[in-house]
Structure 1
Amino acid sequence: MNRIIAIIIFSFPFYAYSQNVSEDGKMQRDYYVQTLVRIAHPVLDALSKNELKKRMPLEAKYPDTRKDFMHLEAFGRLLAGMAPWLELGIDDTEEGKLRKKYIELSVICIRNATDPKAPDFMNFNVGKQPLVDAAFLAQALLRAPNQLWGNLDSKTKNNVLNALKSSRVISPGYNNWLLFSAIIEAALQKYDNSGDKMRMDYAVRQMLLWYKGDGAYGDGPDFHWDYYNSFVIQPMFLEILQVLKANGLDPENNYDLALDRASRYAAVQERLISPEGTYPLLGRSITYRFGAFQLLSKIALMKALPPKLTPQQVRFALYTVIKKQIEAPGTFDDQGWLRIGFYGSQPELAENYICTGSLYLCSQAFLVLGLPASDAFWTDENVDWTSRMVYKGKSAFIDKSIKK
């Protein structure tokens, strides 16, 4: 019976490519929305009923080392990706009604996750890992100030602040983890005026020192060939600087500098997508799947793409990437939970720190859903992304590095 219910809940139409370009954007948005909901529903449904710890499966190479962290991992990462879509709010469209459902579920989930008396109260301060996922929850709150933070009751707001502050006992590593501490402080600064400015300033200064050129940062002093510039570094760096700038704490205007670099990195990401919608299996944490393109999605959401890269190229490319990976057999288990893998179920690709909860970082690819359905991103006709264009024999722009 449970399997039948799961099939009913998580089944939705997979659309074939339409030759009617006036319909492509709408069809693709529908697909983005339904895919995000498919990923999100098991987590939010269980947590809203205080049953996440009871119902969520644990897949990991070393399960005993991850069981205390996976719930905040799944929730924080998922909500950070959903937040811009939720922030559009409620309207009378079918999508608007769907948002209403998931806004309400998310608010209940935040309450349960941060209430010390709730069965699903989460671990914010025991071990090292909670710093990471408290940071993703903070990121979600920064991305949806009205629909997430604004809809919390005063008791839950206080619980959230206490939970975030409790993570301060965890010392970050000398790498991208500095940003986890800093974005928690950025959220505390925005909502409680209590952010630790030294932690934010230290993270900013180190990231500026670790810049390697042409839009890419090191993960610490060293450069790594992986997707961490997109998984964590550049999105969080921008959002920390955004809060600092809004509070008059960015006198050197590092925000604009970081945005220029992020725009360049987004252009590189678009060129990594092959004509078939695949991309290199490169570096660690590859089981985050299309979360690798968080930054490309974020820069499109911000309308900060480089001038020669059109929003429609990004929409079409991301749609193709997501569709290819999400439809791979074995991506979900029988109850709709994500399984470890890059293309389907491939548990051998998991590092020691990867577990079921980690996988929900893939939701970060859906940030573009924060652009309303009426935006040209969705309404204009398809444009082939760069590699697809080139392999059709069409003209494309020469790629150029940046010097700052």
Structure 2
Amino acid sequence: MVSGLEQRKYWLDTMLQIGEPVLSALEARKLNERLPIEFHPDRAEYACLEAFGRLVCGMAPWLELEGLQGEEEELRARYERLVLEGIDAAVDPESPDYMNFSGEGQPLVDAAFLAHALIRAPRAIAAQLPDRVRERLIAEFRRTRRTVPFKNNWLLFSAMVEAALDLLGDKDYDRMRIDMALHFHMEWYKGDGMYGDGKDFHWDYYNSFVIQPMLVDLIVRFRQASPVYGEMEKIILARAKRYASVQEHMIAPDGIYPYIGRSITYRFGAFQHLAQASLQHFLEEKIAPAQVRCALTAVIRRIMEAPGTLDEQGWLAPGLYGYQPNLAEGYISVGSLYLCSTVFLPLGLPPEDSFWTDDDARWTSMKIAAGENVGMDFALQGF
């Protein structure tokens, strides 16, 4: 049997295996040169910010973690430095890896994932930026305002950028964009822990890719800004707990999960929300942290062991299990795929947390498949 701490090491090794090509290329100021663009070359102008912003969005809680010892702390310190240098390269107009924050449309999306990384690592990333880099990053975030977000999950991208501007000390951050994103999503709730992507319900993983993780972190950050937000927080968190349980129930005994909806090539990024619920300790009581750890480990292994998930140089390749480019929509570049890193959010928990130390546990589908007499599942009522 593999212990929880051995699983933690596997998670960390896998996250760094995925992230190393991106961050080492940025360190050499050669991400723009090295990042594969043969797949959907028309998206090349966005690919570097996509890869960097999405990768760091998942790595951020681990970078923020204090109290690590030995080799893991040495690794954490190294990758913190690489991320800070990467931000410098991304916002320096003289850098060959200067990234596209100013184009209309897609740059808003990936600036928001980078912004979310700052919210998740305010000490390790945001507070460590030199003044020169911080001012340039503020300027680049402001450039994304030229994009008018669609009336769907994109409202959260605008809101997250403004949250990061506030964190960085920009007194002119636009709280109206945050308020709009929160209130519209309250209107778009469809029931039983699920929001519409706009007014319509879509059967996909966007409640986990974007909607619920950003809603939770926005409302927690700004809950003191308005008495309305305090009440909204209770509702958002109740729904978030239920959706985390739904996500756990969707993982089959062999680590496979339903192929459904768009952006399926973000792979185990589909479970960002379940990972965040574990990181922030808002799982429902019926879901033990160890069963989430074991379930997500099965998901990660199943995908990483599929031949072709990484190319010969270690870059992510399009697909779900291996190289399956026909699964990727036209808006997806190789950079887009790095949203998969968000499954690793629980690495922000210390090694002594029960998520890592409790004995292995069967997840819900395993219990049922083994004939265990589990309790009934209930829809969320009153929220």
Deviation at 1:248, TM superposition (A): 4.7
Q: C-alpha distance in 1, partners of 2:285/2:267?
A: 27
Deviation at 1:213, TM superposition (A): 0.4
Deviation at 1:151, TM superposition (A): 1.5
Q: Identify the match of residue 51 of structure 2 among 49, 70, 74.
A: 74
Equivalent in the alignment of 2:65: 88
Q: Does 1:397 align with 2:375?
A: yes
Q: Does 1:181 align with 2:181?
A: no
Q: Does 1:204 align with 2:182?
A: yes
Equivalent in the alignment of 1:35: 14
Equivalent in the alignment of 1:191: 168
Q: C-alpha distance in 1, partners of 2:110/2:156?
A: 12
Q: Identify the match of residue 315 of structure 2 among 319, 337, 344.
A: 337
Equivalent in the alignment of 1:227: 205
Equivalent in the alignment of 1:158: 135
Deviation at 1:395, TM superposition (A): 2.0
Q: C-alpha distance in 2, partners of 1:182/1:288?
A: 22
Q: C-alpha distance in 2, partners of 1:246/1:358?
A: 34
CA contact (8 A) 2:222 2:229 kept: no
Unpaired runs of 5+ residues, structure 1, are: 1-17
What is the SS of the residue equivalent to 1:253? helix
Q: Does 1:141 align with 2:118?
A: yes
Q: C-alpha distance in 1, partners of 2:206/2:69?
A: 38
Match runs of 1:112-151 below 5 Å? 112-151=89-128
Deviation at 1:90, TM superposition (A): 6.5
What is the one-letter code of the residue matched to 1:169? R
CA contact (8 A) 1:42 1:337 kept: yes
What is the SS of the residue equivalent to 2:190? strand
CA contact (8 A) 1:90 1:99 kept: no
Equivalent in the alignment of 2:26: 47
Instruction: Describe the superposition over 1:108-156 as per-residue Cα deviations: whole angstroms up to 9, x where unpaired.
Output: 0011111122111100011310000000000000000111112111111
Equivalent in the alignment of 1:294: 272
What is the SS of the residue equivalent to 1:256? helix
Q: Identify the match of residue 265 of structure 1 among 243, 260, 283.
A: 243
Instruction: Describe the superposition over 1:327-377 as per-residue Cα deviations: whole angstroms up to 9, x where unpaired.
Output: 100011111000000000000101010110000000010001110101111
CA contact (8 A) 2:162 2:178 kept: yes
Q: C-alpha distance in 2, partners of 1:252/1:94?
A: 41
Instruction: Describe the superposition over 1:47-102 as per-residue Cα deviations: whole angstroms up to 9, x where unpaired.
Output: 12211001111143x422x0100000000000000000110147432111111111
CA contact (8 A) 1:89 1:99 kept: no
CA contact (8 A) 1:131 1:167 kept: yes
Residues 85, 169 of structure 1: CA spacing in aligned structure 2 closer, same or farther, 3 A cutoff? Answer: same
CA contact (8 A) 2:194 2:239 kept: yes
What is the one-letter code of the residue matched to 1:138? A
What is the SS of the residue equivalent to 2:148? coil
What is the one-letter code of the residue matched to 2:372? K
Q: C-alpha distance in 2, partners of 1:194/1:135?
A: 17
Equivalent in the alignment of 1:6: none
Equivalent in the alignment of 2:328: 350
CA contact (8 A) 2:192 2:239 kept: yes
CA contact (8 A) 1:288 1:360 kept: yes
Q: Identify the match of residue 320 of structure 1 among 298, 304, 311.
A: 298
Give the paired residue count. Answer: 381
Residues 235, 251 of structure 1: CA spacing in aligned structure 2 closer, same or farther, 3 A cutoff? Answer: closer
Unpaired runs of 5+ residues, structure 2, are: none
Equivalent in the alignment of 1:368: 346
Q: Does 1:381 align with 2:359?
A: yes
Instruction: Describe the superposition over 1:198-236 as per-residue Cα deviations: whole angstroms up to 9, x where unpaired.
Output: 111111111000000000000000000000000000001
Q: Identify the match of residue 306 of structure 1 among 284, 293, 310.
A: 284
What is the SS of the residue equivalent to 1:69? helix
Instruction: Describe the superposition over 1:284-317 as per-residue Cα deviations: whole angstroms up to 9, x where unpaired.
Output: 0000000000000000111100011100010000
Q: C-alpha distance in 2, partners of 1:91/1:392?
A: 38
The share of aligned pairs that are identical, in percent, is 50
Stretch of structure 1 that moved more, 307-316 or 112-121: 112-121
Residues 249, 73 of structure 1: CA spacing in aligned structure 2 closer, same or farther, 3 A cutoff? Answer: farther
Q: C-alpha distance in 1, partners of 2:209/2:68?
A: 31
Equivalent in the alignment of 1:5: none
Residues 82, 302 of structure 1: CA spacing in aligned structure 2 closer, same or farther, 3 A cutoff? Answer: same
Q: C-alpha distance in 1, partners of 2:313/2:227?
A: 47
Q: C-alpha distance in 2, partners of 1:90/1:386?
A: 33
Q: Identify the match of residue 4 of structure 2 among 21, 25, 28.
A: 25
CA contact (8 A) 2:37 2:334 kept: yes
Q: C-alpha distance in 1, partners of 2:106/2:257?
A: 28
Equivalent in the alignment of 1:9: none
CA contact (8 A) 2:267 2:320 kept: yes
Superposed CA RMSD: 1.2
What is the one-letter code of the residue matched to 1:360? Y
Q: C-alpha distance in 1, partners of 2:291/2:240?
A: 17
Instruction: Describe the superposition over 1:179-215 as per-residue Cα deviations: whole angstroms up to 9, x where unpaired.
Output: 0001111111222233211111111111000000000
Q: C-alpha distance in 2, partners of 1:88/1:344?
A: 32
What is the SS of the residue equivalent to 2:45? coil
